[in-house]
Amino acid sequence: MSSFLLSWIVLVPLLSAIILGLLYLYSIKIKKLSNKVFAIFGLTSPFISFAIAGLFFIQMLQDGKTIHYEAYKWLGVGSYNVSMGFMADNLSIFMILFVTFVGGLIHVYASGYMKDDEGYGKFFFYFNFFLASMLLLVLADSPIIMFIGWEGVGLCSYLLISYYYKDSENVLAGNKAFIANRVGDFGFIVAMITMFYYAGANGFDYVSLQNSIGNVPIEIVTYIGIALFIGAVGKSAQIPLYVWLPDAMAGPTPVSALIHAATMVTAGVYMVARFHFVYELIPNVGLVIAYIGAFSALFAATIATKQTDIKKILAYSTMSQLGYMFIAVGLGSYSVGIFHVFTHAFFKALLFMGAGAVIVALHHEQNIFKMGGMKKHTPVVFFTMLIATLSIAGIPPFSGFFSKDEILLSAFASGEYLLWGIGVLTAIMTAYYMFRLFFVVFFGKNSSEDRHIVELPKSILIPLVILAVGSILTGFLGVPELLGGTNLASQWLSEWKNTSLHIDHTTESVLMLINVLAALVGIFIAYKKFYKYDMTKVPKFSGMIWNKFYIDEIYDVLFVRSIKRLSSFIAMEIDIKIIDSLLMGLSSKFISIGHLVARVQNANTRFYAFVMLCGISLISIYLIIELR
Amino acid sequence: MADSLLSYISLAMILFSIGLLGVISRKNIFIVYMSIELMLNAVNLIFISLGRYYESMEPQVISILIIAVAAAEAAVFLSLIVVLYRRKRSLDSDIFNILSQKSAS
């Protein structure tokens, strides 16, 4: 199979996005088009990409070679070239496969979810463009090309968070996401420039960088590693740049599912894994990454236990799961981290889509304490959500169990018992808050039982079922040796990057047991407190956790207000009183000097003649003195 | 010989100074024009006397040239004066001040 098809994985959604954008312009300016026209383009492109990626996957299964394709020379400075290159190795093809698959299902779901929306075409334009950027990010063969995709997904995230732009709060949420991401992007840019300066002499693609990074002084590598991680923190919503993720839930639910759960936010994890050759040299920075991930996981899980907005709970849980992934990649178990990215994409997309289905069924109600009793009304959503919730809580044999177990195992095997402890604690809380949500939404007793429930279309329900099956099956790709399985995902990824753990089977089974127990404890607490919860006596929420530890307020005071005060000080004091008065004073002085000089020009010919006489006389005197 | 050269040049300088004074101090355009002609002739005188002193023909050629140019100039100048007079009905040079800073602004 010719390798130029690799670029078509990215090009198909991109072209489809361009066509959709033009059609949408045509639709609003000239003649209204039906939603079907948009859906044809919007829905086929992810699956075409998936099919192409699948072909490459099969080819790579057979010969195991990394596929490179250079489309064209993108930048040329002297003899130095940066080409628009694509690379499919075991890591990126793995990412591509589930990004296109889950993304395609979310596209189908969105076609049902958004069917009454005016900007249907615009939505699919953004969605396809997002997919193209994400695929470019993953398939890129150099940091620069990756950065194009990186910024593209950031842009789409901003556009889609502010999708309901008529409400100013949504626009502010979009701004917040964009600005917080920008802080991270700055780290990425700094890392790229430093890397280029110190290791870019022999080419700037991953392969050349991997070869030349060894000659770079270790302090510089540390610096690069930290700066790169700042980029990852911004994109993947970890402490301290996570604040945008909960607010990002202002966008439509398919957006939350696709961008803020399954794909874009995992770009940070992917990036750390992609730059594994940097982090291998600096295990200390990796440890910092793991700890930041662990604290983010615990922190987000704590906040999630007290939230009432269904999407906010899921947003914090996303942040928490991303924390797990960073524990794994920080400790160098890249295949484990990526495997969790993979399973998480399935069950978290499913959770969001299930939440979206419930929200649609209840006329856009997002408070879980106003839902209740949904088991009866939406049985399909109930079963699929049950699978997803069990999966995220870590109950075998659902997929989340295997990936989370591996992460905690690798933390334990690395000797980082504190990380392991935090992980287990977070696992208890994850099970607790997820089942709190689940019990309240599906079993809660709601007095207003006779409310009108919207019929859910097939395009919403079918993706739910497929993803639910996926949430069960994907786990079996990573069954550990202990349980008599072969860890297929880990094998596949270890061809790319070998990470083997040294731990005996007794410890492994004890740890596995602890994980299951932790999940069961969390579920039990949730069951005691929230099973058949009476919605009439919802407690008033207050306190530190309900207010998200006041982090938003602290940031507001620390950064937003101080910068506002600083800028108003500069505008009112420095600009007007110093710079303006200096410049205006200077120019007014010039004007008055000009007026003074202009008096000489009085149109009196005799005066001119007199001045000429004086001048000539002076020159003559000078010449006489000089030339005598 | 040198003494007489000095007296010729002194006469020329006096004539030139009178002409210059006339250009600067008089308002009437005709007087100004006459003063300019006086200055030209003073220069002519210097050329001719120096030519005589150095026994060279070139200064005399130049002075002939100056006389010819002055004649052409007289025609231009007089026609200009006629036009200016038709405009303002006056020969006062101070009236023609459209290029002054005050009239510009």
- Name the domain boundary from A514, A541, A568: A541
What's the pLDDT at B105? 45
Strands annotated E in A25-177: 67-77, 80-88
Q: Which member of A598, A602, A613 has the closest CB to residue B24?
A: A613
**Chain B: residue whose CA lies nearest to A595:** B101
Q: Give the mean pLDDT of chain B.
A: 87
Cβ-contact A271, A338 below 8 angstroms? no
Q: Would you say residue A297 has pLDDT above 70?
A: yes
- Name the domain boundary from A511, A541, A571: A541
Domain ranges within chain B, ordered by starting residue: 2-95
Q: What is the pTM of this model?
A: 0.79
Interface of B with A in 45-104 (CB under 8 A): 93-94, 96-103
Together in a domain, A358 and A470: yes
* pLDDT average, residue stretch A12-38: 89
**Does A606 contact B24 at a Cβ distance shorter than 8 Å?**
yes
Q: Which domain holds residue A420?
A: 283-541
Q: Would you say residue A381 has pLDDT above 60?
A: yes
**Does A603 contact B20 at a Cβ distance shorter than 8 Å?**
no
Angle at CA of residue A147, ends A144 and A150, nearest 5°? 165
Together in a domain, A397 and A447: yes
Q: Would you say residue B103 has pLDDT above 60?
A: no
Angle at CA of residue A105, ends A138 and A340, nearest 5°? 50
What's the pLDDT at A484? 64
Q: How far apart are CA B103 and CA B95, in angstroms?
A: 12
Q: Which member of A601, A606, A609 has the closest CB to residue B100?
A: A601
Q: What is the pLDDT of residues A547-569, one digit of tens each?
A: 778 888 888 888 888 889 999 99
**Does B98 contact A610 at a Cβ distance shorter than 8 Å?**
no
- Name the domain boundary from A496, A515, A541: A541
Q: Give the mean pLDDT of chain A.
A: 87
A378 burial type by CB count under 10 A (0-12 exposed, 13-18 middle, 19+ buried): buried
Q: What is the pLDDT of residues A386-420, one digit of tens each?
A: 999 999 998 888 888 888 988 988 888 888 889 99
Q: How far apart are CA A457 and CA A122, in angstroms?
A: 21
Together in a domain, A297 and A373: yes
Together in a domain, A527 and A604: no
Q: What is the pLDDT of residues A196-230, one digit of tens each?
A: 888 888 888 888 888 888 888 999 999 999 999 99
Please count the residue pairs, one from chain A and one from chain B, whose beta carbons lie less than 8 angstroms apart: 35
* pLDDT average, residue stretch B76-85: 90
Cβ-contact A357, A468 below 8 angstroms? no
Q: What share of chain B is helix, strand, coil (3-state, %, to 5)?
A: 85, 0, 15
Q: Would you say residue B87 has pLDDT above 90?
A: no
- Inside any domain, residue A328: yes
**Chain A: residue whose CA lies nearest to B32:** A606
**Does B23 contact A609 at a Cβ distance shorter than 8 Å?**
yes
Q: Would you say residue A501 has pLDDT above 70?
A: no
Poorest-pLDDT segment among A143-152, A349-358, A366-375, A575-584: A366-375
Half-sphere exposure (Cβ direction) of A177: Cα atoms closer than 13 Å:
30
Q: What is the pLDDT of residues A522-534, one digit of tens each?
A: 999 988 888 877 7
Q: pLDDT-based confidence at B71, cuts 50/70/90?
A: very high
Q: Write phi, then psi, for A217 (nearest 5 degrees).
A: -55, 145
Q: pLDDT-based confidence at A448, cuts 50/70/90?
A: low
B contacts of A604 (beta carbons < 8 Å) = 94, 97, 100
Together in a domain, A512 and A577: no
- Inside any domain, residue A608: yes
Interface of A with B in 576-605 (CB under 8 A): 598-599, 601-605
Q: pLDDT-based confidence at B102, cuts 50/70/90?
A: low
B contacts of A617 (beta carbons < 8 Å) = none
- Percent of chain A at pLDDT exceeding 70: 96
Q: Which member of B20, B96, B97 has the closest CB to residue A613?
A: B20
A contacts of B27 (beta carbons < 8 Å) = 606
- Inside any domain, residue A11: no
**Chain B: residue whose CA lies nearest to A610:** B24
Poorest-pLDDT segment among A486-490, A613-617, B78-82, B89-93: A486-490
Q: pLDDT-based confidence at A478, cuts 50/70/90?
A: confident
Q: Which member of B20, B25, B94 has the closest CB to residue A604?
A: B94
Interchain contact A609–B (C-beta under 8 A): yes
**Does A609 contact B96 at a Cβ distance shorter than 8 Å?**
no
Together in a domain, A517 and A421: yes
Q: Which member of B20, B24, B99 has the closest CB to residue A603?
A: B99
Together in a domain, A413 and A529: yes
**Does B24 contact A605 at a Cβ distance shorter than 8 Å?**
no
Half-sphere exposure (Cβ direction) of A197: Cα atoms closer than 13 Å:
11
- Inside any domain, residue A562: yes
Q: What is the pLDDT of residues A239-293, one digit of tens each?
A: 888 889 988 898 899 999 988 888 899 999 999 999 988 998 898 999 999 999 9
Nearest-CA distance B76 → chain A (Å): 18
Together in a domain, A581 and A480: no
What are the Cα distances from residue A519, in Å, to A389, A527, A553? 11, 12, 33
- Inside any domain, residue A43: no
B contacts of A624 (beta carbons < 8 Å) = none
Together in a domain, A572 and A475: no
How many domains does chain A contain in total?
A: 2
- Inside any domain, residue A304: yes
Q: How far apart are CA A476 and CA A473, in angstroms?
A: 6
Together in a domain, A470 and A443: yes
Q: Would you say residue A459 has pLDDT above 50?
A: yes
What are the Cα distances from residue A233, in Å, to A126, A295, A423, A528? 24, 13, 19, 36
Omega within 30 of 0 (cis) for the link into A240: yes
Which CATH number is correct for B2-95, 2.60.40.10, 1.25.40.850, 1.10.287.3510, 3.40.50.1970?
1.10.287.3510
Together in a domain, A480 and A580: no
Q: Which member of B20, B93, B102 has the closest CB to residue A605?
A: B93
- Inside any domain, residue A23: no
